[in-house]
Amino acid sequence: MTAVCSLVQQAAVDDGKHYWPPILGLFRSVTVALTYMRRNRVQDELAETFGVSQSTISRAVTWLTPLLGSVLGDYVPTPEDLDDQTQYVVDGTLLPCWSWASHPGLYSGKHKTTGMNVQVACTLSGQLAWISDAIEGSRHDTHCLKESDVLITLDPTEWIGDKGYVGNDMLTPIKKPECRDLLDWEKEFNRQINKIRYVIEQVIAHFKNWRILHTDYRRPLKTFTQTISTVVALHFYQLSAE
């Protein structure tokens, strides 16, 4: 917390701006913003906890969320940072939000709810390596991965994914043909692939300990992608300190 507050303080000095409500001060404002993202608590509850109004909590969250993403942005790996000699396991996950009638593209037929899709990659040992930018939840994992451009300079044969990535030259389980059941060796092959893939499920579960990404996002939709980017930066920053 002290290190994060120092970064925020320096950014405020550099920009000549005051990014937090005076009644809360720097430390408590950062605490409010982090608590909101970590626990996805209702702002009225945070207001009661910190002894201020809901509008003060809203200002702290609104002002500090993008700033935290900015000051911690250097901790977020880009596709260019991935090692072309390393094998990666990839999977997509839906970050849920409220349903907005004006944004039907948020609805995921796979998950039967609305949200944004991000692609997550880790090493075979379960070390988080990369998280993509968010794309509307109606998009298929293959589309989202291609939009990220992560495989432009990397060999897809070194990547492992689920059946949603069939056709990308990656190592994936074998789909059941329409005309027959899977053969015994095909079933065994799929079991072995799934034994490897469990690491990405654990990595995603750990990432979603930030409850703002696990339960419905309640703030205006236009702020969702920025919040996702900030949480990604916070998560990588947290991992760098472990």
Q: What is the pLDDT of residues 140-152, one digit of tens each?
A: 999 999 999 999 9
Q: What pLDDT, on the 0 to 100 scale, is given for residue 242?
A: 76
Q: What is the tens place of the pLDDT at every residue in 180-208?
A: 999 999 999 999 999 999 999 999 999 99
Confidence of residue 232 (pLDDT cuts 50, 70, 90): very high
Percent of the chain with pLDDT over 70: 100
Confidence of residue 100 (pLDDT cuts 50, 70, 90): confident
Q: What mean pLDDT value characterizes the chain? A: 95
Q: What pLDDT, on the 0 to 100 scale, is given for residue 13?
A: 93
Task: Write down the pTM of the prediction.
Answer: 0.94
Q: Averaged over 72-92, what is the pLDDT?
A: 96
pLDDT surpasses 80 at 78: yes
Confidence of residue 94 (pLDDT cuts 50, 70, 90): very high
Q: Averaged over 158-163, what is the pLDDT?
A: 95
**How far, in Å, are 73, 143, 171 from residue 240 at the CA level?**
13, 30, 29
pLDDT surpasses 90 at 153: no
Amino acid at 194: N
Q: What pLDDT, on the 0 to 100 scale, is given for residue 231?
A: 98
Q: What is the tens place of the pLDDT at every residue in 119-133?
A: 999 999 999 999 999
| HEC sequence for the chain | CHHHHHHHHHHHHHHCCCCCCCCCHHHHHHHHHHHHHHHCCCHHHHHHHHCCCHHHHHHHHHHHHHHHHHHCHHHCCCHHHCCCCCCEEEEEEEEEECCCCCCHHHEECCCCEEEEEEEEEEECCCCEEEECCCEECCCCHHHHHHHHCCCCCCCHHHEECCHHHCCCCCECCCCCCCCCCCCHHHHHHHHHHHHHHHHHHHHHHHHCCCHHHCCCECCCHHHHHHHHHHHHHHHHHHHHCC
Q: What is the tens place of the pLDDT at every residue in 43-70?
A: 999 999 999 999 999 999 999 999 999 9
Confidence of residue 30 (pLDDT cuts 50, 70, 90): very high
Q: Averaged over 92-105, what is the pLDDT?
A: 92
Confidence of residue 77 (pLDDT cuts 50, 70, 90): very high
Q: Averaged over 199-218, what is the pLDDT?
A: 96
